A and B are shown apart, each in its own frame.
Chain A
Amino acid sequence: SQTIHQWPATLVQPVGSPLSLECTVEGTSNPNLYWYRQAAGRGLQLLFYSVGIGQISSEVPQNLSASRPQDRQFILSSKKLLLSDSGFYLCAWSRMGGGEQFFGPGTRLTVL
């Protein structure tokens, strides 16, 4: 069966510090991978998605970047965090061609 892992679960970082959130998927090959953010009081916003190694599509201009160094690894990064980067970050995967998405447990990021 497939599982998706995210870490860390919670993170408190000062403004201006770097960020690295990791997501890995087990039990499947060539997944589509996604990063979402839920800011306080708002819905899920798609940040990045990837259909293959090294292929990243960015949905909104922002302070964040994503990388996919391996088939089942998706990393969300920032060089300098802003207060507005606070939120709940979810990684998800789906099979090639779209379809139902499976979400990880999420990371709660607080930027102070």
Chain B
Amino acid sequence: ILNVEQSPQSLHVQEGDSTNFTCSFPSSNFYALHWYRWETAKSPEALFVMTLNGDEKKKGRISATLNTKEGYSYLYIKGSQPEDSATYLCAFIRAAGNKLTFGGGTRVLVKP
């Protein structure tokens, strides 16, 4: 059983503030790490697919870093807006695998 852990489980952020949260995963047999955003009443949508140690990816105000040697990834939201409110899921793919193992998610609520 693969352990993919996300912390914290939930986060309240004031509009305009920046925040970050963590995904930890097994450091052996790494293939890829995905981040998804899941808004209420919608389907999860991919934010980033990260494959290389040291990867940094950015989409608008959201960015992510990857450390495969120690088995963690951070997701950052800069200047949070109410529309950033969602559950953010990370998912790990083991080497040569087709399947994702998801973490429990971090639920972010941005207060106006």
Contacts and interface: CB of A to CB of B under 8 A. Distances in A.
B100 A43 contact: no
A38 to B, nearest CB: 9
B89 A43 contact: yes
3 smallest CB-CB distances across A and B, nearest first, come from A103-B43, A43-B104, A44-B102
Contacts of A34: 99-100
Contacts of A44: 44, 89, 91, 102, 105
29 contacts: A34-B99, A34-B100, A36-B102, A42-B104, A43-B89, A43-B102, A43-B103, A44-B102, A44-B105, A45-B102, A46-B100, A49-B98, A51-B98, A57-B99, A59-B99, A90-B43, A90-B44, A94-B98, A97-B98, A98-B93, A98-B97, A98-B98, A98-B99, A100-B46, A100-B49, A101-B44, A102-B46, A104-B43, A106-B43
Nearest to A59: B99
B98 A32 contact: yes
Interface string B91-112: 1010001111111110000000
Contacts of A103: 43-45
Query: How large, as a class, is the contact surface on chain B?
Result: 20 to 34
B66 interface: no
A98 B32 CA distance: 9
**Secondary structure of the B contact surface, majority rule:** strand
Interface string A52-66: 000001010000000
Contacts, number: 52
Interface in B28-51: 31-32, 34, 36, 43-46, 49
B40 to A, nearest CB: 12
Contacts of A104: 43
Nearest to A104: B43
Contacts of B101: 46
Interface in A5-51: 32, 34, 36, 42-46, 49, 51
